Structure formats: structure tokens, C-alpha cells
Amino acid sequence: MICDAGTKARFTRPLVRWYRTAGRDLPWRNRPEPYAVYISEIMLQQTQVSTVIPYFHRFLSAYPTIGDLAAAPLEKVLKQWQGLGYYARARHLHRAACQIVEQYGGAFPSDLKALMSLPGIGRSTAGAILTIALGQRHPILDGNVRRVLCRFFAIKEDPREKKVEAMLWDLSSALLPKRLPGFYLQAIMDLGATICKPKQPICGDCPVTRACGARRAGLQADIPLKKPTKMIPHFDYVAGVILSGDAVLIRRRPLKGLLAGLWEFPGDRVAEIFGELSADESPEAALHTYFKNELGLELTTAGQWMTIKHVFTHFKMTLHVFICRIDAQLGYEAPFRWAKMKTLDQHPFSSSHHRIVLRLDTLDRGGSATLSAS
């Protein structure tokens, strides 16, 4: 697909004119230096701008420089990130910050390949940092840009196919102006976020609508080609809030895998506890079995305290939470820890388990279930 000077004039110029008056006033655009752009780009991956803004302010307040981020313990970084989800992003941020300090003296590398070698930084993110913050000229291809280009050029093929993706990179590069390329990148990202939206694009307000191939063909709703809808599996989990005096037992997840490094209340997926019998067993029975096998606790009485529903990328979860008590704090080694109730807010929890922490503030400690050591 050819992108000639005429096509560029019909797309790039009206887009830039539109952005001068319609562009969003976002906090990271007020300080276009590599670190702020980097943090914003990572936070905006799979997260809406309205959600990111307060997190961006808090994160930059806690870690105003790349050196501050590198010096911080990972657990504190995860705590700052708590609620944004996709926690691998925070772990990559921390690892990349450490590498930038160790290998580059705290200055962002100005070479595209060097920047892409850092954890969690792909070609599009690296291109955005170097173009917006350092005035270099690199194309990007995030979700918004991909959607805009597919519609403007009426690309009916799957944008996830390698040959189509390569073509989109070429188009993104060809449309990039020599003057103020960072300004243009922010313009096309804004167009995709506010006008050329995934559903119900506002074509009447689009600055390039007259030249848009999808609009002229009436294919806005069909382009880009969507992934086939997959059935999202549902799993039941159990968790026990084990209280002993003013302390509660918590467990840190492994440093690799889902929700790596975060804290939670002990429990497991019901199917993992019972295997093939899970469909015929209750969450309470699963809790009995889990604590007996894993912690040597014989559950005598329990009552379900709360139910939490949460959607992950690849599955849905119902978390059945039980409140429990023991008289003495049995000794457990890592990854378990007895934590004072008043210190729980210092630990990074996943969003579902953080809801348990918030609910604990209202707990009537006078009555609950009972556990005894087996």
C-alpha cells in the first residue's frame, strides 16, 4: 500500500491542525522529558487515561526521578501501583530503572535499540519516548494508531498478521512529519482515543473523515478486523482471613507468574485443591482441605464472610472469603507472614484482596469462625 505526498497531505496536515485546538490537556504533556513520558506510556498500556492520571501524579510524587525509582524496594513500587492492574508493568519499570542507573548513569539511552533492550519497552513505547521527549523521529503502532490507520486506509485484513503489521509500521513511518513529529504522535493517539474509538467512532468530528476509506465504504464498525470471541473460563477461589489477636496471616505470591510479588490472604483455586471433584465440593470444604494440607490447621467452624468477583485478562474469578480465628500465632516461614492489622496498608495487595483489607476495617472482632491446629 502506497502512502504518497497527497495521502500525507490529506491525513497529517488536517490531523495536526485539529490537535492544536482539540488535543487533550494531560499532565505528562506538561513535562515532555523521557522519564515522565516513559511512566505515562507504561501506565496507559491497557488502562484508560482517566484512571491513569491520579496514579501518574502519585507515582511521580513518590519517585520524581529514575534514580528514585531504582533505589526504591520493589514492594513499595508495587504498593504505589496497587489498583492499576497488570503488575508486570510495575516490575518491568523497576528493573528498567535499575538498568538505566547502572548502565547509563541515570540518563535514558537515546538509541532506539538500546531503549528497546530494557524490560517492558517495545518498539512503540521506545519510539514514543524518543520522539515526544527527545525530538527524534520514530513511528509508533499502539492500539489507537493501529485502529486509525486500518480505518483510514480501509485495511480489511487482520492487523495481527505479520505482513499486515509490517505494512502498518511502514504507513505509520511514512505519515510521520519531519517537523514536530512528537506533536503529531500525540495527535494521532488522541484521535484514536477520543474520535476514532473502537466502538461508535464519531466520524462527524474527525478531521480526516473526508479521506477515510472505511467511512466512505461504510465499514467503520467492521474495521479493524476483530478477534473471534472466545469463551472466558470461570474459576472459583477460596481465601481465609486468619486472625490471631491484632495480627492476620498473609502470604506473598511467587516473584514470577500471575500477580507476582503481591500479598494475599491464603487460599487457592478450588479446582487445584480438589482436582476432578471440584464440581461436587463447596468452597467451605475446599478451605477445610487447603488449610489442613498447607498449614496444618483443622477447621472446626467457618462462615462465608464475603464474595468478590473479578475479571482477569484470560479468566473470571469468584473469590469466596472466610473469616477465621486461632488463639496463638503458629510459626510459619516465608512466603507466609503474620502482619499487624494496622500495617496491612503497607503491603501491596491485588485489587481483589485489597477489597478484603478495606473490609477488615469494619470487622467485628468479637465473633468469627474458629481454627485449631491439627
Of the candidates 33, 41, 281, 298, the residue annotated as catalytic is: 41
284 noted as active-site residue: no
Neighbouring residues of 40: CB distance < 8 A, sequence distance ≥ 6: 26, 27, 28, 52, 56
Q: Return phi, psi of residue 300, to 5°.
A: -100, -45
Long-range CB contacts for residues 211-215, cutoff 8 Å, separation at least 24: 211/7, 211/10, 211/11, 211/152, 212/151, 212/152, 212/154, 213/151, 213/152, 213/153, 213/154, 214/150, 214/151, 214/152, 214/154, 215/151
**Pairing assessment for the beta strands 234-244 and 267-269 based on DSSP bridges:** antiparallel
Q: Which of 327, 349, 302, 344 shows the shortest CA–CA distance to 290?
A: 302
- Gap between the Cα atoms of 123 and 128, Å rounded: 9
Q: What are the residue numbers of the active site? A: 41
